[in-house]
Amino acid sequence: MQYEPVIGLEVHAQLSTESKIFSPTSTEFGGAPNSQVSPICLGMPGVLPVLNKKALEYALRAAIALNCELHTTSRFSRKNYFYPDLPKGYQISQFEEPFSSGGWLDISVNGETKRIRITRIHMEEDAGKLIHDQSGNVSYVDLNRAGVPLIEIVSEPDIESPEEAVEYMKKLRSIVRYIGVCDGNMDEGSLRCDANVSVRPKGTKKLGTKAEIKNVNSFKFVQKAIEYEIRRQIQTLESGGEIVQETRLFDSSKGVTFSMRSKEEAHDYRYFPDPDLLPVVIEQSMIDEIESTLPELPEQRYTRFIEEYKLPEYDAGVLTSSKEIADYFEQSLKDGGDPKTLSNWIMTEVLRELKEEEEIGSFPISPAMLSELIGLIDKGNISGKQAKEIFAEMISSGVTAKEIVEQKGIRQISDQSEIESIVKEILGNHPGELARLKAGEDKLMGFLVGQVMKATQGRANPKVVNEILRKSI
């Protein structure tokens, strides 16, 4: 039998506010353990949580960018369970009345646009972090993260492959970064997902029983964990077994998922409205204000790059997937120049140098420096090959192209008479090749151009060399 996977993702995105969701405590990453914890984070008797307005604003920005409907009144509940990283014994989260629902996000699948529906987005607080000692006997508790604001973005089960799940995560990450509400740093846990996976006989409608893989924190692991889970479920069914509804974890070193708890062991969270928090009422003026300050989103920028700069879809996609790269491209273009040439340079030379796209912020070659370098090629002052060498030197030294060209006396030979005399010399040294070229063996053209380039250490302008060679035969 043929099976098809069905996937729904619950993505947690940490909002990049300076303070926690219900207290003025710092959210800065990497502080000494338990140095950023207040009585409110701990739920000490008598404390009163107060909603961070910035967190609400950021949550609204995300919901608007993800095409969600906003609910003017929403409520916080307590989700009760025991775990050592949860000092209050409950997590404050939105349950029955989230602030938004019914959105969508378009992803691109094999060149086609596919819409993934978003069920809801709600606000909640993060828990602390457990660090398990190597010995296996001791665990440490760091509560700095307890109370950090999150939004949870729940998708409909519209995702049909591990690749689509990764695309969806990438797109979400790009959007929350564009609108500046989450740094998207997956290593630090700012963006992570629970992947719900089931399989069903191909072409059928009824959903299979799902397993939920908790806390997957990289694109690679999303791919691997879902791939494994699909295989496991198909094998189980094929061998006559049944899928049990359960929560699983992904072991990235072994590349497998394993059971954490079954449905029978599932928590009864005894949700109830948090009596310490007022309902959240969103005024239209706040929504208007946010809508008016929302920047251009990746999708809009992609379309504009194609229309305004006449870029191929592929280029527009690469350049706009990260806001920083798109900004870099547009800043480089400010001084003029051909958009496609610039796009080629960024997509190959620049992106090759970056491990992460956001590193472009500290890239030694500024947009103005890149545009100057390309200008030198356009003017015929340097060759493309020289430009690549200069580019490498600019990265290591931080010096501008013009300065390097002057210091080293680099120039491209475009002068007709100078090239003519070199061509003459080369043809004189290769009478055999010249004869064969004349007899119609056109591939020798490349050989002879190569000889001229070699004789000039790559400094001759290839276009001029070609013209003169053609004339000479």
Residues in contact with ligand ADP by the rule CB under 6 A: 6-10, 154-157, 196-198, 207-208, 210
Beta-carbon count within 10 A of 219 CB: 15
Q: How many CA atoms lie within 13 A of 243 on its CB side?
A: 24
| Bridge partners of residue 246, in order along the sequence | 211, 262
Kindly tell me which of 128 and 208 has the beta carbon lying closer to ligand ADP: 208
State which amino acid sits at residue 253: S
- Look-up of token digits 């290769």: 430
Q: 75, 182, 176, 196: which is closest to 124 by C-alpha?
A: 75
Residue 134 DSSP class: T
Contact criterion met (CB below 8 Å) for 109 and 167: yes
Residue 260 CA to residue 469 CA, distance in Å, equals 73
CB of 244 to ligand ADP, least distance (A): 13
Q: 183, 160, 171, 190: which is closest to 12 by C-alpha?
A: 190
Contact criterion met (CB below 8 Å) for 458 and 450: no
Residue 151 token pair:
């939004």
Kindly tell me which of 37 and 123 has the beta carbon lying closer to ligand ADP: 123
CB of 162 to ligand ADP, least distance (A): 13
Residue 413 token pair:
């030979």
Residue 364 CA to residue 404 CA, distance in Å, equals 15
Contact criterion met (CB below 8 Å) for 199 and 3: yes
CB of 297 to ligand ADP, least distance (A): 23
Residue 172 CA to residue 80 CA, distance in Å, equals 29
Residue 447 DSSP class: H
Residue 406 CA to residue 400 CA, distance in Å, equals 10
What are the two backbone dihedrals, phi and then psi, of residue 208, each rounded to the nearest 5 degrees? -80, 175
Kindly tell me which of 158 and 183 has the beta carbon lying closer to ligand ADP: 158
CB of 266 to ligand ADP, least distance (A): 8
CB of 220 to ligand ADP, least distance (A): 21
CB of 6 to ligand ADP, least distance (A): 4
SS3 216: strand
CB of 2 to ligand ADP, least distance (A): 17
Output the CA–CA distances (angstroms, integers) from residue 107 to 116, 161, 219, 325, 356, in the order listed: 7, 13, 15, 19, 21
Contact criterion met (CB below 8 Å) for 345 and 387: no
Kindly tell me which of 123 and 422 has the beta carbon lying closer to ligand ADP: 123
- Residue sitting closest to ligand ADP (CB): 8
Residue 407 CA to residue 401 CA, distance in Å, equals 10
Q: CB within 8 A of 356, min separation 6: which ones?
A: none
**CA 120 to the chain's CA centroid:** 22
Kindly tell me which of 155 and 383 has the beta carbon lying closer to ligand ADP: 155
Q: 197, 188, 121: which is closest to 165 by C-alpha?
A: 197
